[in-house]
A and B are shown apart, each in its own frame.
Chain A
Amino acid sequence: MTKTVPVVENILGANERLAQTNRARLDETKTFAVNFMASPGAGKTSLILRTMEALKAKYRLAGVDGDVATTIDADRMAAAGIPAVQINTGGSCHLDAVMLQGALPQVALEDTDVLVIENVGNLICPANFPLGAHLNILIASVPEGADKPYKYPNMYRGVQAVILNKTDLLPYFDFDMDYFHRGVEALNPGLAFFPLSAKTGEGLDAWLSWLTARIDAYLTPGT
């Protein structure tokens, strides 16, 4: 006999539960985790390195780098003097909470104030797989075009800030800043927005002071 069994379960519930476990693990050692997401070529690694360079005098940093293959990005972090763990996803297009859980024991969390996570370059999948980070940051870039918020709405909905990188290229592209920003606003009203150039450093200060304020609020609450 056929019968219907009600289930009503969120299909990604397992990942979300594990993300909470990761968060709890990070909170035990008071390690503030920032998850950077972007499409391939948006300048994730360059901006992350510049950001780490600016933060490393003040905080103890570590990095986790997600890529389909190779250790190029982790090597670049290590070359900058930041302890880095590479996660090779073996073909998967995003990091998920399980992969981060596997990487955390390789990070000296007790000696880390800020853990920088570089997700796999992709604008679709990372949005569906929270990792347990305290901040999720999306890096967009001028050459990608201003229509990206409209085409990848999920990515823009789950983040706490959007960075628009490569503003030094604005004179060479028909990038409609107003159209871009209106798309971001509709998906995530009031979202922190930082147009900047990781190459020239223009706009970097606003981003760094916003980030620093969040890190400080976490590490030393009530000050």
Chain B
Amino acid sequence: MANRMNWLQGKTVRKNTPSASHSRSSSTPQVQSTSSTIFGGGVKDPSGRITEYSSDDDQCPVCKSDKYLEKKLRLLVSSCYHKMCESCIDRLFTLGPAPCPICNKVLRKLAFTPQTFEDLGVEKEIAIRRRVAKEFNKRLEDFSNLREFNDYLEDVEDITFNLINDVDPVGTEARIAAYREANTALTLLNTQREEAYILSLRQAEEQDRKEKEARAEELRREEEEERQEKESGRREIIERLERAEGSDAVNVVRRTKRERAEREASRKGVAPGKGAQALLRARMAAAAATAATKDTPHIPLQDDYYAYEDMFVLQSTYVDPLSEAVRKDREGIMRAGGYRVEEAWERAVRSAVAGLDLWPLESDRDAFQSSHAFDPSGDAIMSAA
């Protein structure tokens, strides 16, 4: 319970006790040989390490050996979220896939992962969410409005919930498959974008780090200079006093100090971050350059050709004796070449409706409207033509 409280309070959960981790590294080879290398997975912390959960009350549900008697006991989690100790895993699955002793699902040795959270439900949820996030990675930009995006998120959450709680597994998998089918390209694009974004973040971080280092270096150098200056100043006073330059010792000291102050002031006036200023200037120049370029956002098409798509509805098939033979006969070849008989139909239909809402000639329209302004009947068109 104490563990759980710690976890809730945001403290780190107690992982392997030092003695346990120690015993693991110096363990008997026949059991542990596989453990560190083969079992992957688990939840990584920000530093990339996998921290494992274990407690003193651990007991293998299969062989009933427990932590109390078997200090080296390490429980791993199967893909069906059942715990087993390493020796049981070795015993049961070394000879290939075998059913889980608890739920009979066929498991492989490689499918076992270290446990990170005390609650296996959390473990499962994380695995599922990670899987779902990999596929359902649409962004707000991919939707025309917020409403659609929210609906999409709702859908995703619904699927996640179903997977976690094993509600309608077949239907849910079908939904995921359908989504995957429909969105492969976009998913891929978003994955690439995400990778690019991570890369850019890393580069920015690196850049920041370098800048910080340079700044620290500069500061150090300045300090060093200042120190040397002070040192040389003191030496100068002593030297002057030694040479008994000028009659009055107090005067000598005062004059030297004044000179030094002047020098320092002049140095400070120029120096404060010569590098920083250069950097600032470069940035301003870059900003000015981008401001001067009046590039405008991309407009895909500069006309409204596709604004009249509602003039026709393309059927899924037509009785078309001309293309029928070709279509039946050579579908394989035509498909591989990218030919679509639908294009021929679309062209025909488009040609049929093209210009339906246009007057034959602009001048005719004016003539017609002036002479037949009060005659709305269809005959007028005939007579005008």
Tell me, yes or no, whether A binds B.
no
